């Protein structure tokens, strides 16, 4: 069964003077999807979100909402609401008045407004704070009310512009769970913008990685992480070791390359026999033992960073530095010391050959 498209972005470009923020971007977003646009500052993700909302106009291209071209519609005519990083709540109004305000402007009947406000306060677990004002709330509580207000008018699409970036780490993690639960409960398409890869991997059905004004890759979180299309995606999503490689041969979707660690045969993206490439190898895919014997790669620990759940090591193998992540599975387990000899091993299929 073909999925229904909520948003269609077709060949959208945007220039600010001589600067091209977006370069002919195209993709579809489906109904009831948590879709994330992820990328570094200046990649064009917020510009694209603002164009969907109607706050910016593209230099060229088309944006459709459920099959309707919306570029000639002002923001208030689009059934699209936005949650901003700053929350944008009215400080002089109570929480229930903040939620009711937009519904009053839409001409909703008073009884319907009252019932909808009560429903939204219950949805975000804020009923007991209905008569308070924003200044009396924590950052997480204000975020919940901003979400309730945006969802109250039953938009077809909800846009979220880095809404968690102002919160502390623990609260951000809790709000990620709440956002995902809200999206599932309402069935509304969420389009989330962030530069935080962990947020994107945790919440999204699909992720669109943007870089330099272009779509670098679109896919499910595991696809983006495990099978990056290029060096930009592999580098931006998580950590990885990049090793220079020379492509010896290509057979179907697998390539054999020479690297400073020796020959490797694994999956590839666009590799061409005889051409230079890069081997991407995630730190957690490398096994490490404190025995300097055997047939594995011999190395020496040259750096160590304890991070709680993991310890990150730098290991030098034949002059090549590798980042290795080792899970701290045992409390007070022994950490290998800087200068200790170790042996490393990895499954070839855990690496990826990238042509660009």
Higher pLDDT residue, 87 or 16?
16
Cβ atoms within 10 Å of 268's Cβ, excluding its own: 24
Residue 291, pLDDT score? 56
Q: Which of 349, 297, 23, 32 is nearest to 182 (CA)?
A: 32
Residue tagged 């008018």 (tokens): 153
User: 93 Cβ partners below 8 Å, 6+ apart?
Assistant: 101, 133
Q: Is pLDDT of 211 > 90?
A: yes
Tokens of 321: 């530095």
pLDDT at position 295 is 56
Calpha distance 58→5 (Å, rounded)? 20
At 328 the pLDDT is 87
Using 50, 70 and 90 to split pLDDT, how confident is the model at 41? confident
Q: Averaged over 113-126, what is the pLDDT? A: 92
Confidence bin at 157 (pLDDT 50/70/90): very high
Does residue 205 surpass a pLDDT of 60?
yes
Token readout for 293 is: 């014997």
Q: What tokens appear for 20 in the block?
A: 């091209």
Kindly state the tokens that stand for 295.
Answer: 């047939």
The pLDDT of residue 165 is above 90: no
Whether 239 contacts 260, CB under 8 Å: no
pLDDT by residue (tens digit) across 178-201? 889 889 989 999 999 999 999 999
Nearest to 235 by CA among 211, 269, 205: 211
Q: What is the pLDDT of residue 334?
A: 66
Place of tokens 């407004």: 113
**Number of residues in the chain:** 356
- The two tokens of residue 309 are 């759940």
Residue 223, pLDDT score: 96
Q: How far apart are CA 71 and CA 65, in angstroms?
A: 10
């Amino acid at each position: 069964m073909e999925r229904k498209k909520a948003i269609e972005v077709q060949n959208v470009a945007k220039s600010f003077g001589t600067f091209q923020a977006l370069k002919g971007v195209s993709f579809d977003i489906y109904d009831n999807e948590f879709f994330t646009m992820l990328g570094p500052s200046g990649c064009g993700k917020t510009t694209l979100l603002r164009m969907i909302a109607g706050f910016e106009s593209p230099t060229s291209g088309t944006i459709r909402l459920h099959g309707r071209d919306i570029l000639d519609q002002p923001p208030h005519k689009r059934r699209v609401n936005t949650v901003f990083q700053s929350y944008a709540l009215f400080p002089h109004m109570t929480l229930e008045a903040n939620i009711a305000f937009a519904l009053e402007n839409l001409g909703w009947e008073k009884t319907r407004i009252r019932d909808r406000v009560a429903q939204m306060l219950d949805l975000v677990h804020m009923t007991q704070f209905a008569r308070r004002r924003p200044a009396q709330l924590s950052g997480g509580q204000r975020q919940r009310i901003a979400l309730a207000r945006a969802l109250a008018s039953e938009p077809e699409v909800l846009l979220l512009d880095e809404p968690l970036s102002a919160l502390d780490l623990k609260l951000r993690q809790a709000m990620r769970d709440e956002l995902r639960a809200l999206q599932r409960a309402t069935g509304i398409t969420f389009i989330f913008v962030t530069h935080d890869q962990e947020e994107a991997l945790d919440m999204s059905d699909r992720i669109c990685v943007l870089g330099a004004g272009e779509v670098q890759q679109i896919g499910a979180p595991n696809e983006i992480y495990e099978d990056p299309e290029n060096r930009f995606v592999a580098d931006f999503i998580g950590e990885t070791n990049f090793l220079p490689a020379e492509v010896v041969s290509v057979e179907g979707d697998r390539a054999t390359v020479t690297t400073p660690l020796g020959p490797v045969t694994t999956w590839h993206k666009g590799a061409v026999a005889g051409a230079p490439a890069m081997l991407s190898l995630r730190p957690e895919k490398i096994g490490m033992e404190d025995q300097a014997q055997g047939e594995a790669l011999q190395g020496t620990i040259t750096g160590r960073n304890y991070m709680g759940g993991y310890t990150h090591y730098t290991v030098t193998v034949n002059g090549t530095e590798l980042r290795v992540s080792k899970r701290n599975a045992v409390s007070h387990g022994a950490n290998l010391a800087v200068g200790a000899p170790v042996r490393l091993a990895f499954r070839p299929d855990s690496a990826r050959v990238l042509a660009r």
